[in-house]
Structure 1
């Protein structure tokens, strides 16, 4: 498979382009590659790496990219990348690194007169300050004549040691002189992790019980390929977390929800007040009260992305418009002729929610548009075939966030683009899971029977 310039998945390493070191954050490990692949497409950067060499247990990965400018573009809005480094050398030991770069004059030449500094870091071991200084001094043979500048250097050299994830036998004790591998190179750019603080829920004025945390909301915007001028819909908008993060990247966003109370908010705190807080009033357009089947949208492809967290039926019960003969509306919500002032609602089973969501996206997403949504599952029951498929979509990514007995999976699907991709496709068939009873079916019942008491739902 391929990535960059519209293709999905990584190209195999051929070592025909410069090699770079990606330094990931050691959080949300299953989401790191899907975000990186999405950013390569978004920024039209050719990216090659060996998927087999990637490990959730390490923050380091080697990639090939055509040049430094493309490397900077690739990570400039990444949430899960800390740094990207133009690699000078990789080796099992520091001594090997020093030997490799000692006479590499073509590497030294651009920086002979530049101001510089060194950073030293490790994974799986804490390098104390005196040890860091000792390692930096080992590079004193480099022929740099420029001044040391710790605040604003022309170039930053990065040295990393990877000790791997500690095993149960090793505990936290490591031998400082025995990393599994070491890296050295020029630090080119940092990711965009600082924006997580901007949208931190602790600082947000209007919240609800289902507000999505900032880090994952931003990752979802990246996986949805949200960019300047995109039109993005959240059909289960709640308190509007995804509207804010997608608008941050330049999208025009709208939301919908069957529960108008969350949209309206309380005491002048609502979705629009959050848009004011973040300076996004020109991009967070509006919200409507509707469900997936009863909505005001013209029947045509219009949305570039649909980003959402469907209600699981636990903290926020899933409902849709419908008549429930067992429940008689109270007189206060009836008109004089006996008809209800507001549409009645009925429970909405999780499997039906997901199937209807994908069918909705198949109609309203533009070709090449992405659907990014959360799918809750019971961990022991889940199989990959549970994820509903649709003839107009291809599955791009399926990443798990595990909470023990239950998990939620971030599903990214892309609508097929044109006639060539749709050859032989039965366009009349809707979304359907390959399994008869998927793990997310009747999730509310399973949750309270099997996993009740698990936090973070």
Structure 2
């Protein structure tokens, strides 16, 4: 059944959260129609889409069944509520609460507290249900963003909080340059990885991307030119009880693999991450040309690099094209770009 849902997105970056949700649906061959707002994504898709995104996404806070969308004007909102058949969604015997979230400072003239109160009163009068702010049977959720108001029923929160338990400091093998698990999970999703598919990270380092892919049910393959990293990555995968994986010592410029469905990787680029004397630009270009000979004609590659690396030049002479680019400020002197490639 096709349903409308909206998703409350995290605010780490402007574009990657919505792109991650859409990539998850594409990996599962689910059709969708999307409307993007600041930190909110409205989707028309199969009913299971909400569950799948909530289970897998790193950049999503909450998923809601959408009941209405209107202009972010108090009178317009209250008038639009009359068109919602609340009897379909809550009975007189159930309890409820109403929460309204404002994204940034959008529609500051509309009081979120007043909206919560008046919408709660409206629902009580319409169906006879009682409010319970601490432990409601149903949570009605509204959000103000970019001049619009979206309102619905909260279905579930995402698994985002669990990702924090996999931060580098909680792993048996730790390196300072380790990617945070939220970005690692998002990159795996952007690669269109799917459960039981073969996922490859040829610059696996401490194994952060492999951990996230493994927990999603992928068969994971990793390699690194540094023996210490390979040993450490193995320890980390064992620590998180990842199954169906293989990690070897290998040069990414000469990959020994001949089958994989999706790739996400964050090649080293100096500093605490060693490039073994090879310039990052040269390393990435050589790797992509090698990958061009081996990757699936329909596969995706999600690549993390500094903004200073010109990936447009690196893919010259290959079959790859850039389909997505997301910028993530790391600190004053470093902006990371997350690039999705496809043939």
- Please report the TM-score for the alignment, with normalisation by the length of structure 2: 0.85
Q: Alpha carbons of 1:295 and 1:66: their partners in 2 closer, same or farther (altered >3 Å)?
A: closer
Per the alignment, residue 251 of structure 2 pairs with 291
List gaps (5 residues or longer) in structure 2.
none
- Please state how far the C-alpha of 1:216 moved relative to its aligned partner: 0.6
1:155 aligns with 2:138: yes
Q: Give the Cα separation in 1 of the matches to 2:112 and 2:91.
A: 23
Greater fraction of residues in helix? 2
1:299-358 Cα deviation digits (max 9, x unpaired): x4x011222111113322312xxxxxxxxxxxxxxxxxxxxxxxxxxx322222112211
Q: 1:399 aligns with which of 314, 326, 336?
A: 326
Whether the 8 Å contact between 1:255 and 1:287 is mirrored in structure 2 is yes
Give the 3-state SS of the residue equivalent to 1:29 in structure 2: coil
Over 3 Å counting, the alpha-carbon distance change for 1:408 and 1:389 in structure 2 is farther
Following TM superposition, by how much is the alpha carbon of 1:383 offset from its aligned partner in structure 2, in angstroms? 6.8
1:21 aligns with 2:1: no
* 1:278 lines up with 2:228 in the alignment: no
Equivalent residue for 1:201? 168
Contact 1:358 1:390 in 2 (8 A): no
Change (3 A) 1:390 1:241: farther
CA RMSD of aligned residues (A): 2.8
Secondary structure of the residue aligned to 1:186 is strand
Indicate yes or no: 2:336 matched with 1:351. Answer: no
1:90 and 2:70 matched: yes
Distance 2:325 2:267 in 1: 16
Q: Residue 324 of structure 2 aligns to a residue in which SS?
A: strand
Aligned-pair distance for 1:376? 1.7
Task: Answer yes or no: is the 8 Å Cα contact 2:255–2:290 preserved in 1.
Answer: no
Question: CA, structure 1 residues 93+397, in 2 after alignment: closer, same or farther (shift >3 Å)?
Answer: same
1:314 matched to 2:271? The reply is yes
Q: Tell me the equivalent position of 1:239.
A: 206
Check 1:401–1:125 CA distance in 2 against 1; reply closer, same or farther (3 A cut): closer
Instruction: Tell me which of 375, 389, 400 is aligned to 2:305.
Output: 375
Alignment of 1:146-185 (within 5 A): 146-150=129-133, 153-162=136-145, 180-185=147-152
Compared with structure 1, are the counterparts of its residues 82 and 390 closer, same or farther at alpha carbon in structure 2 (3 Å cutoff)? farther
For 1:305, the equivalent position in structure 2 comes to: 262
Mapped partners of 2:74, 2:311: distance in 1:
43
Offset, 1:190:
2.8
Distance in 2 between the 1:202 and 1:293 partners? Answer: 30
1:217 offset after TM fit, Å? 0.4
How far, CA to CA, are the matches of 1:349 and 1:182 in structure 2? 49
SS of match in other structure, 2:293: helix
Answer yes or no: is 1:224 the counterpart of 2:191. Answer: yes
Question: How far has the Cα of 1:407 moved from its partner?
Answer: 2.3
Query: For each residue in 1:177-230, what CA deviation from the matched residue of structure 2 results, as whole angstroms up to 9, or x when unmatched?
Result: xxx443322223333312321312232221113211111101011111222212
Tell me whether 208-217 or 81-90 shows the greater mean CA deviation: 81-90
Distance 1:361 1:201 in 2: 28
Of Structure 1 and Structure 2, the greater strand share is in 2
8 Å CA contact 1:361, 1:371 repeated in 2 = no
SS at match of 1:111: coil
Residue 35 of structure 1 corresponds to which residue in structure 2? 20
- The offset of 1:71, in angstroms, is 3.6
| SS of equivalent to 2:33 | coil
Higher relative contact order (Cα pairs below 8 Å, separated by 6+ residues): 2
TM-score, scaled relative to structure 1 = 0.65
CA deviation digits over 1:242-261, x for unaligned, max 9? 11111111112222222112
Q: In structure 2, how many angstroms separate the alpha carbons of the residues matched to 1:109 and 1:258?
A: 58
**Rg larger for:** 1
| Unaligned ranges ≥5, structure 1 | 1-16, 165-179, 265-269, 320-346, 416-457
Aligned-partner SS, 1:397 = strand
